[in-house]
Structure 1
């Protein structure tokens, strides 16, 4: 850890409190001038640090700058040494995570970025990922260390985790739109993408990469005109009482622990409770075909049970749906 990172870690641990440069220098066993230079570097990088004569330095409680150091400080004690790859800018966290998985990265390896230039959504679509306001994270999962193995169930579980964490930290209620999107106040705020790789020789699943893109405070005007019509954000400027570091750490911690105690039945019950499509009329897109139906249930494997306009019940497990507003 560099001196600058040590100073940031110290400020994160004492967020909101003013501490003199002398005390910081003493705690880190460096000179006051070194502390001052580190503070100046952090300020240039966008950290909101308040300096008051005779009181010292303080990292603002409302500072929303994301960093590996900040994330680690918010992690549970057992995960503070997790393998984390942080990037200010990257093409795609899922792409990087897949590269790391091929190289033998361990279960729970986290790839996190402040901005993506080529974020990936379902069916290879571009996932817009503006800087400084969102969370773009990917986690490598090993099947033998994770309760769920089917991509649909992992996606469903992750949606439940994200919704629970957002509710706990912000009080905001997110709705889940089958299968991989979360909405707030009628607009999409989160997308989840699960990608799996099988072992060539055995044919068994070797690892999975779970990607999460969450619009924390991204203003609609930041997105392209087409996306502006669909995308929203979880928090307004006035709501920013929780940092992105806290959200990332809590999502990551919960993701890697809750599956051990949440069986498929309980998980799907929670998923259905948060679902925004249950008993709703939807327009289903499947390839070149589209038709109307009503969602009657979601089974234990995450498939929709739909009722067609003719009154027939069918299982639906691929494609996309759009809730019809009457």
Structure 2
């Protein structure tokens, strides 16, 4: 996919001297006409970027607006490979579907799809994910772990631990909670969800798509009515200045990379503690709705294979591989 001229212009403006760059210089470096540069600058302005045009001095980018276009993502990354290359979409059906197609075409590990809005965003078990265009962070990361397919599912927990750590840059740590299996909460309300999808071949993972949605900006009242009572936004918990989608994205990727490498090399047991520190349900009475019916017990945590452990009233321990966790009304004695 050819890089849009507007992104090429943005990349040069991001690295330009404070005085900016003239239209003539931009045209020379990019091998296009000054008219084409002007049209690209107008596209950036329409997208929300504040590009100042000064007679005789050219164009200068103000950094008050930070978007999610590839040049900005690349500039903020501190990872070795996660987040590169980047594919930006103003609108898509699903970033996971787009990433899956890209992976099938040969995209490398670490390739990233980001979008401003999804028409068909989805979560686990076919549930939908509603976003706030321009304020939600929506992305999918392509990974190619050299693992058997059966060893891949705990990667959801690795990602949720990294996301919780990233959100702690804005929200009080005590307010952040991982709700098994794939949600991150703030003050008991959902602020982010993770969807892991995999293609396998001969019982080995061919590629994994890690989809993440985070309610970054706006107020809880801005969220769709059907989720308002159960969801929140990072902005509602953050001290000024308001959280920045670009910083959340790059913070997540930076937190994920070392955990992912450890997971691939040594298994989930090597990163379980990073997940456990955000699991507030430990020692609480819970009910888990599993595919075979509801199960109740006291939550213990995860084992080395990523199964949820519940202690039954008779003292036995049960391993839960899939389901939805709900808290009971009282703590276990």
> Contact conserved, 1:217 with 1:233, CA < 8 A, in 2?
yes
Work out the CA distance in 1 between the residues paired with 2:287 and 2:235. Answer: 29
Aligned length: 319
CA RMSD of aligned residues (A): 3.2
**Between structures 1 and 2, the one with greater helix share:** 1
> Contact conserved, 2:262 with 2:270, CA < 8 A, in 1?
no
CA gap 1:163/1:40 in 2 versus in 1, 3 angstroms: same
> Contact conserved, 1:111 with 1:139, CA < 8 A, in 2?
yes
User: TM-score, structure 1 length as denominator?
Assistant: 0.83
1:248 and 2:249 are equivalent in the alignment: yes
1:279 and 2:283 are equivalent in the alignment: yes
CA deviations over 1:138-181 (Å, ceiling 9, x no partner)? 1121122x79972332011111111222224x354321111111
1:156 corresponds in structure 2 to: 157
Superposition deviation, residue 314 in structure 1:
1.4
> Contact conserved, 2:285 with 2:296, CA < 8 A, in 1?
yes
1:139 corresponds in structure 2 to: 141
Work out the CA distance in 2 between the residues paired with 1:60 and 1:312. Answer: 61
CA gap 1:12/1:238 in 2 versus in 1, 3 angstroms: farther
Work out the CA distance in 2 between the residues paired with 1:76 and 1:294. Answer: 40
Mark the runs of 5 or more structure 2 residues left unpaired by the alignment: none
> Contact conserved, 2:21 with 2:60, CA < 8 A, in 1?
no
Superposition deviation, residue 86 in structure 1:
1.2
Work out the CA distance in 1 between the residues paired with 2:305 and 2:229. Answer: 32
Work out the CA distance in 2 between the residues paired with 1:319 and 1:19. Answer: 57
2:294 corresponds in structure 1 to: 290
> Contact conserved, 1:6 with 1:28, CA < 8 A, in 2?
no
CA gap 1:240/1:93 in 2 versus in 1, 3 angstroms: farther
Superposition deviation, residue 275 in structure 1:
0.8
User: TM-score, structure 2 length as denominator?
Assistant: 0.82
1:214 corresponds in structure 2 to: 214
Superposition deviation, residue 324 in structure 1:
2.9
CA gap 1:101/1:232 in 2 versus in 1, 3 angstroms: same
Work out the CA distance in 2 between the residues paired with 1:189 and 1:44. Answer: 29
Work out the CA distance in 2 between the residues paired with 1:160 and 1:306. Answer: 20
CA deviations over 1:256-276 (Å, ceiling 9, x no partner)? 444334653341011111112
1:220-231 equivalence runs, <5 A = 220-231=220-231
Mark the runs of 5 or more structure 1 residues left unpaired by the alignment: none
1:304 corresponds in structure 2 to: 308
1:121 corresponds in structure 2 to: 123
> Contact conserved, 1:182 with 1:189, CA < 8 A, in 2?
yes
Does the residue aligned with 2:93 lie in a helix, a strand or coil?
coil
